[in-house]
Structure 1
Amino acid sequence: MFGIGEKTVGSNVAGVINATTPLWTVLIAFLAGTDRNITVWKGAGIAVGFAGTVLIFTPWQSAGDIASWGGLACLAASASYGVSYVYMGKFLTGRGIEPIVLSASQLAAGSVLMVLALPLGGLVAPTWRWDAVGALLILGALGTGVAYVLNYRLIEDLGPTVASVTTYLLPVVAVILGFLVVHERVTWPMIAGTVLVLAGVALVKRQAPQPAAEPEPAESPSLG
């Protein structure tokens, strides 16, 4: 759906819509009854992180794209991410299965589905270039393989809602790599948005203060 959507909308719009994944995850987790412990810190962190993402991408420069069919396709993709986080947290993690096994199984199933869908997009002979093959290996091994293992570990350790907040870190990494690798310009809204994103993630991970345990009453001395 992101592939379809980004044919007609800009990457800034797709990035902001992708950042709605934690919002979808919170809503779906609440409706499914898997996470109804929405603390003030968690809610504030999600809101602050989303505001930071919007500030980084500045989608108001092409606001008309959000309400287009491409924008709706990206929104559907983000909602499906939210469903997947809740599904993985409820049915897959916490059952004694290693994250690498879950990741390998999911990616193998996805590969089969992609092969079945391949003829629908038109069969085109690939062009073998070393830079394209290298990019594919890096994205496949690190951006997908290792990332899925870490994602399952986060869901198991912290729950689907907190794990989904890692979506907010994507634009931060994009800004840093864009500056270091391809020398893209970094603006003040990007810097301010990055600060908000990091603050939002910190707020989500912050635990609510636990009430102090009452001291046990001392045993009365025995008589005689």
Structure 2
Amino acid sequence: MRWASALCLVSLAAIWGSSFLFIRISVPVLGPALLMEVRAALAAVFLLVTAGVLKKSLPPIQNWRHFLILGFVNSALPFLLFAYAVQMLTASLLSVISATAPLWGALIGALWYRKPLMPRQTTGLFLGLAGVSVLVGYDSAAQLEGASFALVAGFGAASLYGVASVYAQAVTHIAPFDNAHGSMWAATLLLLPLVPFSPVDTVPDAPILLAVLMLGVLCTGFAYLLYFRLVADVGASAALSVTFLIPVFGIFWGYLFLGEPVGWHTVLGTLLVLLGTALVTGFLPRFRQVVLSKAVDHE
């Protein structure tokens, strides 16, 4: 992997890892529905401007049903669920929960295609489950009253990302940028009817507005561009390594800016989840093969 690609990878992980920080800062004032509506709208507008600058065509309107499905399962509903969960749980814990998305994707894919899991994948699922048990069992926030619903919401959001990945594999004729652009407009439309039910009692101050702007433009719109560039540079398999770095940054930002504790259970649980994800996705051998092939090509 070239230095430029490595920098892109780390930057993307740092950006996506900070999204839970910005949600936790702004959701108490704006509420989940309004905040996620603004997030999706800002990302959609950003991608529209980017399409104009890069002279890309707009997403084909005939694919509107696909964009609605993708916008619902990959953006609108998981955005809402994470925004609800972060009101009770720490940003650190949710960043690790979000990293279980590939585990859900493998399980859902096996059920959907009726293809049994390989022993390596089964081992990975059990390791991921063990990691989650350590995290939840020893996290003080997860023991509070009402935290059970927040945990269900968090894992529900992660599982929806797994559903989206399986669905996207079946629809390969649409360009990734069109998927991002079209689904973000679809998410904006889907979330709009919920806005009247999310009144704002306090006028947002400058830090809240900045957090919302960073969440929509940086963590959603700009992050998509970085991800697509990374896929083009190193391939989808190697780009998957961003999944393993997001919790590291999510925990770091939560500790640095929110004062969230980092105990032994945080480290152990995160390592088990990431190891389980690596086994389920077959990431390690694929990543090694991609990197070696890239090295041979450069020679």
Could you tell me the TM-score, scaled by structure 1's length?
Answer: 0.64
Task: Provide the identity percentage.
Answer: 29
Determine the structure 2 residue equivalent to 1:31: 111
SS in 1 for 2:203: coil
| CA deviation map 1:34-75 (0-9, x unaligned) | x94744444434443454454455456445768844444444
Structure 2 residue 253 is the aligned partner of structure 1 residue 172: no
Of residues 106-115 and 44-53 in structure 1, the stretch that sits farther from structure 2 once superposed is 44-53
Code of the residue aligned with 1:121 in structure 2: it is: S
How far is 1:107 from its partner?
0.8
**Which digits, 9 at most, give the CA deviation of each residue in 1:126-178, with x for residues without a partner?**
73533222222222223212444528976x834xxx95992x64432222223
Q: Which residue identity does 1:28 align to in structure 2?
A: I
Structure with max Cα Rg: 1
Count of residues in correspondence between the two structures: 200
Query: Retained in 1: the 8 A contact 2:100–2:128?
Result: no
Q: 1-side partners of 2:167 and 2:196: how far apart?
A: 29
**5+ residue gaps, structure 2:** 1-80, 287-299
> Which protein, 1 or 2, shows the higher relative CO under an 8 Å CA cutoff with sep ≥ 6?
2
Structure 2 residue matching 1:207: 3-state secondary structure: helix
TM-aligned CA deviation for residue 29 of structure 1:
0.8
Cα 1:183/1:142, change in 2 over 3 Å:
same
- Match for residue 95 of structure 1 among 170, 173, 181: 173
Kept in 2: contact 1:53–1:197 (CA 8 A) = yes
- Opposite residue 190 of structure 1, the aligned amino acid is T
Q: Kindly state the Cα deviation for residue 109 of structure 1 after the two structures are TM-superposed.
A: 1.1
Structure 1 residues 103 and 164: CA distance shift in structure 2, 3 A: farther
Q: Which runs of 5+ in 1 are unaligned?
A: 209-224
The correspondence for 1:118, drawn from 165, 174, 195, is 195
What CA distance in whole angstroms lies between the structure 2 residues aligned with 1:64 and 1:184?
A: 15
What CA deviation, in whole Å up to 9, does each residue of 1:172-215 have, x standing for no partner? 2222223445565533333334444454454430338xxxxxxx
State the secondary structure of the residue aligned to 1:141: helix
2:82·2:153 contact (CA, 8 Å) conserved in 1? yes
The TM-score, its normalising length taken from structure 2, stands at 0.51
- Residue 188 in 1 paired to residue 268 in 2? no
What CA distance in whole angstroms lies between the structure 2 residues aligned with 1:27 and 1:170?
21
Shift in alpha-carbon separation, 1:153–1:115, aligned structure 2, 3 A: farther
Q: Which structure shows the bigger proportion of residues in helix conformation?
A: 2
